[in-house]
Structure 1
Amino acid sequence: MQKLFLTLILTFFLFSFDSFAQNSSISEAYNKDVKIRKTGMAILGTWAVGNMITGAIGRNQNTGQRAYFHEMNLIWNVVNLGIAGAGYYFTATGDMPESASELLNDQVSFQKTLLFNAGLDLAYIAGGFYLMERSKNTINKPERLKGYGKSVILQGSFLFVFDIILHTIHSKQSSQISDFLAHVQIGKNQVGIVLGL
């Protein structure tokens, strides 16, 4: 009877420890994920504020295409600041996923968003070149088109580099969870972990 009781207690502690270890590792991975996202949004927000300040000053101190360049930097980064603020807020107030697979799904979704944004960034850059080219063939405020075009190329280029770097850093984080899940096998009425020796 004592052996059975001792076996039950040991089994309970082993299961509790295993559950704690899994939740602890999910918590650790989630906290790393949150830190990466918050840092990314802080960088985007800093870029936005810097561009808004220099854009406002540059718009007032320049004329012609340089004034329009600064004007578009200011306008563009009002949007960037909104995105950074919302991204930071939703990251900071989000709930921790209950499982590693849920966390991985969230991370993969975020990475897809970053890649989609990188594609948009390339479209912005192309649009900037289009505006600069169009400025050569119009008499209707060509300096504005040229200044706006240069700004859109700059902003699109920054965002492209930002999205690709953030995606690269973030994908390294999610690959750890993916590696863990690759060793989990689910069958009918059973769950197992495959250990590589």
Structure 2
Amino acid sequence: MKKLFITLFLSLFLFSFDVFSQNTSIAQAYERDVKIRKTGMAILGTWAVGNMITGAIGRSQASGQTAYFHEMNLIWNVVNLGIAGAGYYFTAKGDMPESASALLNDQVSFQKTLLFNAGLDLAYIAGGFYLMERAKNTTIRPERLKGYGKSVILQGSFLFVFDIILHTIHSKQSSQFSDFLSHVQIGSNQVGIVLGF
């Protein structure tokens, strides 16, 4: 009976790893993770280039607050393009983690960064509204404050939606690792899987 139990346990243990590796190997999960991040950076880069082009054209052809709106879009998206380029480059050059737990840790860290960025995006939006409100109470270039404020609200809103959507997509990707690893227990001299019946 004891041998049967051990054989059954080992079979289930090995089967669970086999199912995990067939359905989602670390390499496949890493490739999906990289694809999500690259796509995100490509979207951010495209947004940045589009805003830089329209910002440069709009700044040269408009006046008043509209010119300042385009000017800030251009300036803001030079930074966005730099972030998108660096993010794409470092994602492409990254090495595959050695284990599922290392990949999960990396994914969770990336998701925390996205949530932190979303908080910053809300601060940008609030800052844009502050600039617009301040424009009402000053005689020193109020059109610049209003134009910059509108631009910061637009850019912060885009980034907020972008970060939340990227976080949602990315968290769905990492949830399968989290579910699997929640059943794994590692001790100083042992590894085990907790099975529920």
Number of the residue aligned with 2:135? 135
Q: Does 1:125 align with 2:125?
A: yes
Q: How does 1:11-50 map to 2 (within 5 A)?
A: 21=21, 25-50=25-50
Q: How does 1:20-169 map to 2 (within 5 A)?
A: 21=21, 25-169=25-169
CA shift digits 1:42-89 (9 cap, x unpaired): 000000000000000000110000000000000000000000000000
Using the TM superposition, give the Cα deviation of residue 193 of structure 1 relative to its aligned residue in structure 2, in angstroms: 2.2
Number of the residue aligned with 2:187? 187
Number of the residue aligned with 1:8? none
SS at 2:25 equivalent: helix
Matches of 1:187 and 1:112, distance apart in 2: 27
Using the TM superposition, give the Cα deviation of residue 196 of structure 1 relative to its aligned residue in structure 2, in angstroms: 4.0
Number of aligned residue pairs: 180
Letter in 1 for 2:103: L
Moved more, 185-194 or 120-129: 185-194
SS at 2:98 equivalent: coil
Provide the TM-score with structure 2 as the length reference: 0.87
Using the TM superposition, give the Cα deviation of residue 183 of structure 1 relative to its aligned residue in structure 2, in angstroms: 1.3
Matches of 1:115 and 1:127, distance apart in 2: 19
Using the TM superposition, give the Cα deviation of residue 184 of structure 1 relative to its aligned residue in structure 2, in angstroms: 0.9
Using the TM superposition, give the Cα deviation of residue 194 of structure 1 relative to its aligned residue in structure 2, in angstroms: 3.0
Number of the residue aligned with 1:173? 173
Letter in 2 for 1:193: I
Matches of 1:81 and 1:112, distance apart in 2: 21
Provide the TM-score with structure 1 as the length reference: 0.87
Matches of 1:173 and 1:195, distance apart in 2: 23
Matches of 1:33 and 1:194, distance apart in 2: 27
What is the RMSD of the two structures over their aligned residues, measured on CA atoms? 1.7
Matches of 1:106 and 1:142, distance apart in 2: 45
Matches of 2:61 and 2:188, distance apart in 1: 72
Matches of 1:158 and 1:36, distance apart in 2: 18
Matches of 1:152 and 1:78, distance apart in 2: 14
Using the TM superposition, give the Cα deviation of residue 40 of structure 1 relative to its aligned residue in structure 2, in angstroms: 0.3
User: Structure 2: any 5+ residue segments left out of the alignment?
Assistant: 1-13
Using the TM superposition, give the Cα deviation of residue 154 of structure 1 relative to its aligned residue in structure 2, in angstroms: 0.2
